[in-house]
Amino acid sequence: MAERARAADHLISRDDCVFIIIDVQEKLMPVISKKEGVVQNVIRLVRFANMAGIPIVVTEQEKLGPTLPEVKKELSSFNPVHKVCFNCFFCKEFRDEISRTKRPTLILAGAEAHICVLQTALHGVMDYNVHVVGDAVSSRTPENRKVALDRMMQCGATITSTEMFVYEILQKAGTDEFRATLPLVK
């Protein structure tokens, strides 16, 4: 029974998480390693979050341009948090947005893995359950992405994937929501 309780503590629920897109911006993404896959997975996650009723918070780092139009068009409401700090928690507007959701689990995606995502995740693990979507984050170099994911995991963040997150929230097949989600994961 104790093993079941521990496993349940690690599962994400749609009612307890918020999806955070960090700095998927026009001036940054062209230099990001494997950017096409990262952007596609961010879009899949936005579409799924919208379907599942999961709140979304978007950040934009100063001087990196707007959020990519293909991501922005998927967002039902778009009011990005503008920041100058790498660690999103150092921005009061971000802390306020997260606090308003009243959700204890942060799902992180975006760029750069070894800078803004890393610093936000490491700060976040002090007060939140932090899950980093490994196939929806990257850096300018694959090496920096790998080191960042390893460090985040060592410090208490859970590394997940787009499909793991989607199926964990769905919990079962055969529902209308499951059928509506299939095009996102195929």
Catalytic positions are: 23, 83, 116
Name residue 22's amino acid: I
Q: Which helix (H) or strand (E) holds 143?
A: helix 142-154
Residue 107 region by backbone torsions, left for phi larger than 0, else alpha for psi between -120 and 50, else beta: beta
What would the DSSP string read from start to end of 29-50? GGGSTTHHHHHHHHHHHHHHHH
